[in-house]
């Protein structure tokens, strides 16, 4: 299963395009077992993302691989899912909510 459909991938800025922005837009929310990945930038040729990661160990901005995320399995053997109801949201709004 494709975590991020092509039509959404086309909307996400490429890596480094938003690095000068103080409040970039988050386009995708992925989640699994207490982990959440909020994607603000994407390198479609390498499937590398930049965004905000919330885990049981903390919160940070950073890079992560979609290929690695696809291989992760949760406690019940389930894979990472995309929040299909998520709407593009400024990162500051997400950080203030959680």
Q: Convert the pLDDT of each residue in 27-38 to its tens digit.
A: 999 999 999 999
Which pTM does this prediction carry?
Answer: 0.94
Distance CA 56, CA 11 (A): 29
Element (H, E) at 55: strand 48-55
Residue 1, pLDDT > 70, answer: no
């Amino acid at each position: 299963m494709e975590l991020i459909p092509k039509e959404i991938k086309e909307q996400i800025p490429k890596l480094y395009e938003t690095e000068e922005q103080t409040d970039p837009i988050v386009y995708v929310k992925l989640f699994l077992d207490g982990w959440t990945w909020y994607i603000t930038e994407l390198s479609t040729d390498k499937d590398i993302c930049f965004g905000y990661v919330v885990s049981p160990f903390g919160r940070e901005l950073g890079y992560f691989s979609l290929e690695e995320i696809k291989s992760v399995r949760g406690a019940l053997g389930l894979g990472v899912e995309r929040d299909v109801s998520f709407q593009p949201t400024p990162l500051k709004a997400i950080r203030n909510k959680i």
